[in-house]
């Protein structure tokens, strides 16, 4: 997923009035203000109520839903190899984002986490805050080398404290 392809998708979502927040590697790069590495996909959060419109818009742009996933977490890709990883939430009365995970339990994105912003290819974008990005990496899966690097960049730039398991083990 190139920066240009990302911006094109974000403009498409904006035209269709689909509000999204970047997550994952592109969100890290957005808050840093520059691209740190190549990205395979675009991780993005949106409202559950926008899922039908999102599917229709992406299908109209040549994307197809890939096997696996759930109703609120799935991947769509196109023939060029671009992938969009969808994470749908419902906001509760406090503004927290409630995400239904594959195991049926709910993950809560704190309301303050949706106030993040950044820059991709000179365009201002909404994304999860650095603190919330670290929180998301702290639970639910084993970090990879790119995750360790992303978290170290957020710690160095924003002073976000990393849990011990998000720190590389000394060699």
Angle at 144 between CA 156 and CA 167, to 5 degrees: 40
Does 33 reside within a domain? yes
State which residues form the domain around 104: 3-166
Does 88 reside within a domain? yes
Does 162 reside within a domain? yes
Over residues 22-72, the pLDDT tens digits come to: 999 999 999 999 999 999 999 999 999 999 999 999 999 999 999 988 888
Alpha-carbon gap, residue 14 to 151, rounded angstroms: 29
Alpha-carbon gap, residue 134 to 132, rounded angstroms: 5
**Torsion sign across C-alpha atoms 31, 33, 37, 43:** positive
In this predicted structure, what is the pLDDT of residue 140?
Answer: 66
Over residues 93-140, the pLDDT tens digits come to: 999 999 998 888 999 999 999 999 999 999 999 999 999 999 988 776
Read off the pTM.
0.92
Confidence of residue 149 (pLDDT cuts 50, 70, 90): very high
Question: Which range scores top for mean pLDDT: 83-87, 141-145, 164-168?
Answer: 83-87
Does 46 reside within a domain? yes
For 19, the 3-state DSSP assignment is coil
- Count of domains forming the chain: 1
Does 133 reside within a domain? yes
Cα–Cα distance list, 33 to 8, 30, 53 (Å): 18, 5, 29
Q: Write the DSSP symbol of residue 34.
A: S
Which domain CATH number covers 92?
3.30.460.40
Does 171 reside within a domain? no
Residue 137, C-beta contacts closer than 8 angstroms, at least 6 positions apart: 143, 147, 150, 151, 166
Confidence of residue 19 (pLDDT cuts 50, 70, 90): very high
Does 155 reside within a domain? yes
């Amino acid at each position: 997923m190139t920066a240009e392809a990302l911006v094109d998708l974000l403009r498409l979502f904006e035209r269709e009035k689909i509000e999204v927040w970047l997550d994952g590697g592109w969100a890290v790069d957005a808050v840093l203000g520059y691209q740190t590495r190549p990205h395979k996909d675009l991780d993005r959060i949106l409202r559950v109520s926008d899922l039908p419109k999102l599917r229709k818009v992406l299908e109209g742009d040549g994307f197809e839903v890939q096997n696996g996933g759930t109703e609120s977490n799935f991947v769509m890709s196109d023939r060029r190899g671009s992938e969009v990883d969808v994470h749908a939430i419902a906001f509760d009365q406090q503004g927290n984002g409630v995400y239904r995970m594959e195991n049926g339990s709910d993950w809560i994105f704190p309301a303050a986490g949706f106030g993040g912003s950044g820059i991709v290819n000179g365009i201002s974008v909404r994304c999860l805050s650095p603190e919330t990005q670290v929180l998301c990496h702290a639970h639910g899966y084993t970090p990879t080398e790119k995750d360790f690097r992303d978290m170290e960049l957020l710690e160095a730039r924003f002073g976000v404290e990393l849990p011990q398991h998000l720190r590389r083990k000394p060699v």
